[in-house]
Every structure is written in C-alpha cells, then in structure tokens.
A and B are shown apart, each in its own frame.
Chain A
Amino acid sequence: AQSVTQLDSHVSVSEGTPVLLRCNYSSSYSPSLFWYVQHPNKGLQLLLKYTSAATLVKGINGFEAEFKKSETSFHLTKPSAHMSDAAEYFCVVSVTFKAAGNKLTFGGGTRVLVKP
C-alpha cells in the first residue's frame, strides 16, 4: 500500500520569496512521484515527475523537487513566487498495476496564497 502526507494544508508567501511545499510518502515498492497543480476551476496539471532517474527533478514554471529516499520525502520548491503560483498543489505517488496502467494516490493538497 502507498500513502502521501502533505505536511501543510495552507502556505502563504510574499511575491518574490521562496516557496517550499512539504511531502512525505510511504510505498511498498520503488515509487514514482509527482506534483500536480490545480488552479481555480481548472483541471489537474502535471508540474513534474520522479521515476527513479535523477533525484533532483525540474518541472514547469520554475518548480523543482528533490527525492530523498532516506527521508521518504519529495518536497517541492521554487526560488521566487509569482502571483500566478496561487493554486492548490498535490503530491502524488504512483503504483503500477499488474495488468496495465498506474494508480495514483493523492496527498491532501496544499493551498498556496501569494501576497503582493
């Protein structure tokens, strides 16, 4: 079984300051890990993914995440927040089915507020 814990339900940052969204996971197997973003009234957009290659993963819009197996963490960071980063962010772990495809297990989400 797998699970994901996002340690902060809300994060508030000032524009131009760094953003850190914390995520810990639990998985019986080597996990694939993802971060998705959801802007108001929009779908879930993939920010980045880790699939056992480089532990530091770069994504879209200046976001990156580091996979730390010893800490079972996959924290998301951005050096300088922009107003358009205000959204809800989901950390996700994936397991592959026996037959085909993948099942995603979502964290509870972190809502980011960016202050001018």
Chain B
Amino acid sequence: EPEVTQTPSHQVTQMGQEVILRCVPISNHLYFYWYRQILGQKVEFLVSFYNNEISEKSEIFDDQFSVERPDGSNFTLKIRSTKLEDSAMYFCASGEYGYTFGSGTRLTVV
C-alpha cells in the first residue's frame, strides 16, 4: 500500500536554529499538507499546498514557516528560527479526502 514517508523520525535542535522536515508524498497525489501535534494537545492544521503554491494556511503558519516542493517527489517544511514552543510532532499528509498521513517527525527544541 502506498505510504507517505517522513524524515527524520526525531530531530533535536537548538533554539534559534533552522530545521527542515522532509516528506515524500504518495506519487500521484496532488494535495499536500502539514499538521502538528504539541504534546497533550489536539492535532492542528498548519498549511495545505496545491499546484506548487500554498492554498490555505492557519494562523500558526507565520513568517518563520515555509513549505516547498523542491523536486517532483519531496515536500518540505522549514522553520527558520525555532522556538521552544515549536516542539511538537509534525505530520505530513497527501491526498484529497481522508488523506494519508506519514508517521511524523518529533521535533524537540532545546
């Protein structure tokens, strides 16, 4: 069964550093998303991406966040200057209805 692949599974970074979270969506999907789950809180929508541009973003997705599809297969989330409150599990997803999620990247900012 096709999968969404995320790397790395765990990332520890110093506050103020830039991080890039990587995702390989399912190959024939056209819609891509990032969600995050802060420990003990709900899973929250960050951003959706379609036709090589952001189609919707939440108020969480401020100027320190960016997404990119640098080639035909990868979809990345960049956090420019990490803060302690960015520590969370970040999920990539692709598809349109009931889409497929990756296993997540656990980001810890210290």
Chain A residues in contact with chain B, CB under 8 A? Answer: 32, 34, 36, 41-46, 49, 51, 90, 94, 97, 99-109
- Find B45's partner among A36, A103, A107, A109 (CB 8 Å cutoff): A103
Given A44-B91, A101-B31 in contact, is the A107-B42 Cβ separation under 8 Å? Answer: yes
Residue with the greatest number of chain B CB neighbours at <10 A, chosen from A43, A45, A49: A43
Q: Within the complex, what minimum Cβ distance (angstroms) separates B7 from chain A?
A: 13
B8 to chain A, nearest CB (A): 14
A102 and B55 within 8 A (CB): no
- Whether A106 pairs with B43 at a CB distance below 8 angstroms is yes
Q: Which of B45, B55, B91, B104 has a CB less than 8 Å from the CB of A105?
A: B45
Known: A44-B93, A97-B56, A100-B55. 13 other contacts (CB 8 A): A43-B102, A44-B101, A46-B100, A49-B98, A51-B97, A97-B55, A99-B56, A101-B31, A101-B33, A102-B31, A102-B96, A104-B43, A109-B42
**Number of B positions contacting A (CB below 8 A):** 25
- Among A43, A49, A100, contact of B101 (Cβ-Cβ < 8 Å): A43
Write the chain A residue with the least CB distance to B101: A44
Of chain B, the residue at the smallest CB distance from A34 is B98
With beta carbons under 8 angstroms apart, the residue of A36, A90, A101, A109 that contacts B96 is A101
Closest 4 CB pairs of A and B: A43-B103, A44-B101, A101-B31, A106-B43
Complex Cα distance A43/B5, Å?
Answer: 10
Q: Which single member of A43, A51, A90 contacts B104 (CB below 8 Å)?
A: A43
Which residues of B17-56 are within 8 A (CB) of A?
Answer: 30-31, 33, 35, 42-45, 48, 50-51, 55-56
